[in-house]
Amino acid sequence: MAGGGNNTKCLTNMAAFLILQAAIILILAFTVMRVHGPKLRLGMVTVDSFSTSNDTSSPSFNMRLTAEVTIKNTNFGVFKYGNGTMSLAYNGTVVGDVAIAKGRAKARDTAKFNVTVDVMSSRLTSTASLGTDMNSGVLTLGGDAKVRGKVELLKVMKRKKSGVMDCALSVNLATRAVTTKCK
């Protein structure tokens, strides 16, 4: 038996094994174990009921919208979130809000659900520019939401993450079509 040769071979194999293991751990650290916050967006938004007045002396709007909220989880673990709120604002003032019920988005999946929100211009303190805005035929609202929760990896690792929504909704007052744009 050539003992020395075998020993060297054995050490070489061991070194190769350790290097491979380190590489696997590094790859995992940069992919699977890397935790990102979820992305909140608005999907389709429809107008259920609608009444507006673009009379320049007292412009107003009252709308009930159904909005699809999506929570995209790119992580390799489930994202569990608590109750949150979504609000719609006209020129920075909240004109409608709705609760987002706690839930979960599965690993590398997108949770989708619909919320119904009533939007009322009576919540505005000033309607100074509203008439002009409405006479342009398009009402633009900002959509904001936040959910806080945890991403669970391998059942044991939990990392706190939150997701925010930053969207703009344009309601076409003639056709009632709503287009959304999210960051």
Ligand X SMILES: *[C@@H]1O[C@H](CO)[C@@H](O)[C@H](O)[C@H]1NC(C)=O
Task: Kindly tell me the burial class for residue 89, based on how many C-beta atoms sit within 10 Å of its own C-beta (0-12, 13-18, 19 or more).
Answer: middle
Nearer to ligand X, 33 or 62 (CB): 62
**Residue 135 within binding range of ligand X, rule CB under 6 A:** yes
Closest approach, Cβ 104 to ligand X, in A, equals: 14
Residue 163 to residue 179: CA distance in whole angstroms: 22
Stretch that binds ligand X, among 1-9, 31-39, 129-137, 155-163 (CB under 6 A): 129-137
Nearer to ligand X, 7 or 46 (CB): 46
Q: Which residues lie below 8 Å from residue 29, measured CB to CB, with a gap of 6+?
A: none
Residue 79 to residue 95: CA distance in whole angstroms: 30
Coil, helix or strand at residue 149: strand
Residue 64 to residue 96: CA distance in whole angstroms: 9
Binders of ligand X among residues 24 to 83 (CB under 6 A) are 44, 46, 54-55, 66, 68, 82-83
Torsions phi, psi of 76, nearest 5?
A: -90, 20
Closest approach, Cβ 135 to ligand X, in A, equals: 5
Site string for ligand X, 109-128 (x = CB under 6 A): ---xxx-------------x
Residues contacting ligand X: total by CB under 6 A: 21
**Residue 99 within binding range of ligand X, rule CB under 6 A:** yes
Q: Which residues lie below 8 Å from residue 150, measured CB to CB, with a gap of 6+?
A: 79, 80, 158, 159, 160, 161
**Residue 21 within binding range of ligand X, rule CB under 6 A:** no
> Which residues of the chain form contacts with ligand X (CB under 6 A)?
44, 46, 54-55, 66, 68, 82-83, 91, 99, 101-102, 112-114, 128-129, 135, 137, 173-174
